[in-house]
Amino acid sequence: GQQLNQSPQSMFIQEGEDVSMNCTSSSIFNTWLWYKQDPGEGPVLLIALYKAGELTSNGRLTAQFGITRKDSFLNISASIPSDVGIYFCAGLQIQGAQKLVFGQGTRLTINP
């Protein structure tokens, strides 16, 4: 099946650093989403992007929907310990089906 290429697969950073991750695809998506999974829990939606070029913020998180509709990035500024987890990008092609395609995930580890 289709898959998004998410990078990096893992990051080890110091508390207070900024973080950047991205997703690319060979296909066009109508919607891009970013989810975060805390240890032992299911993924939770962080940000949803609905228009090409859209830049959206949610607190210290900023995400952009690429102008080509084939990519998206997520930035986290001034990381804190509770940012630890796995971040997933997901794309949606609206073809009468709400089937999301997920990236492989970025595992974020923060050294205090």
Partner 1 sequence: DVKVTQSSRYLVKRTGEKVFLECVQDMDHENMFWYRQDPGLGLRLIYFSYDVKMKEKGDIPEGYSVSREKKERFSLILESASTNQTSMYLCASSQNGVYSPLHFGNGTRLTVT
Footprint of partner 1 (CB under 8 A) = 1-4, 6, 9, 31, 33, 40-45, 48, 50, 88, 90, 92, 94, 97-100, 102-105
* Nearer Cβ to partner 1 (40/112): 40
* Nearer Cβ to partner 1 (73/88): 88
Give the span between the Cα atoms of 112 and 41, in whole angstroms: 22
Least CB distance to partner 1 at residue 45 (A) = 5
The answer to whether 52 touches 65, Cβ cutoff 8 Å, is yes
DSSP state of 83: G
* Nearer Cβ to partner 1 (13/86): 86
Q: Of 15, 8, 10, 9, which is closest to residue 110 (Cα–Cα)? A: 15
